[in-house]
Amino acid sequence: MIKETIVDGFQNAPHRSLYHALGLTDEEQARPLIGVVCSYNEIVPGHINLDKIAQAVKMGVAMAGGTPIMFPAITVCDGIAMGHTGMKYSLVTRDLIADSTEAMVRAHGFDGLVMIPNCDKNVPGLLMAAARLNIPTVFVSGGPMLAGKVNGKKRSLSSMFEAVGAYTAGKINEQQLCEFERKVCPTCGSCSGMYTANSMNCLTEVMGMGLRGNGTIPAVYSSRIELAKHAGMQVMELVKKNIRPRDIMTAAAIKNAITADMALGCSTNSMLHLPAIANECGVAFDLDEVNAISEKTPNLCHLAPAGPTYMEDLEEAGGVYAVLKELEGLGLLDTSVMTCTGKTLKENLVGVENLDEEVVRKPENAYGKTGGIAVLKGNLAPDGCVVKRAAVAKEMLVHEGPAKVFESEEECIAAIYGGKIVKGDVVVIRYEGPAGGPGMREMLSPTSAIAGMGLDKDVALITDGRFSGATRGASIGHVSPEAVSGGAIAYVKNGDIISIDIPNYKIEWKITDEELARRKKEMPIKKKEVSGYLKRYAAQVSSADKGAIINR
Task: Please say whether the beta carbons of 452 and 162 come within 8 A.
Answer: yes
Assess whether 294 carries a catalytic annotation.
no
Q: Which residues contact 384 (CB under 8 A, 6 or more apart)?
A: 287, 288, 375, 376, 377, 478, 480, 545
Residue 519 burial by Cβ neighbours in a 10 Å radius (0-12, 13-18, 19+): middle
Partnered with residue 428 across adjacent β-strands are: 405, 462
Q: Indicate the DSSP class of residue 421.
A: -
Task: For the chain, give the number of residues.
Answer: 552
Burial of 308 (0-12, 13-18, 19+ CB in 10 A): middle
Classify residue 175 as exposed, middle or buried by CB count within 10 Å of its CB (0-12, 13-18, 19+).
Answer: exposed
Burial of 461: CB neighbours in 10 Å, binned 0-12, 13-18, 19+: buried
Q: Give yes or no for a contact between 214 and 141, defined as CB atoms under 8 angstroms apart.
A: yes
Q: Which residues contact 421 (CB under 8 A, 6 or more apart)?
A: 404, 415, 427, 450, 455, 459
65 in Cβ contact with 1 (< 8 Å): no
- Residue by residue, DSSP assigns 171-209 as SS-HHHHHHHHHHS--SSSB-SSS-HHHHHHHHHHHTTS
Measured CA to CA, the distance from residue 275 to residue 177 in angstroms comes to 39
DSSP result, 205-223: HHTTSB-TTTTTS-TTSHH
Instruction: Say if residues 328 and 290 touch (Cβ distance below 8 Å).
Output: no
d(CA 523, CA 488): 11
As a whole number of angstroms, the distance between CA 90 and CA 113 comes to 24
- Choose, from 39, 156, 270, 468, the residue flagged as catalytic: 468
State the catalytic residues: 468
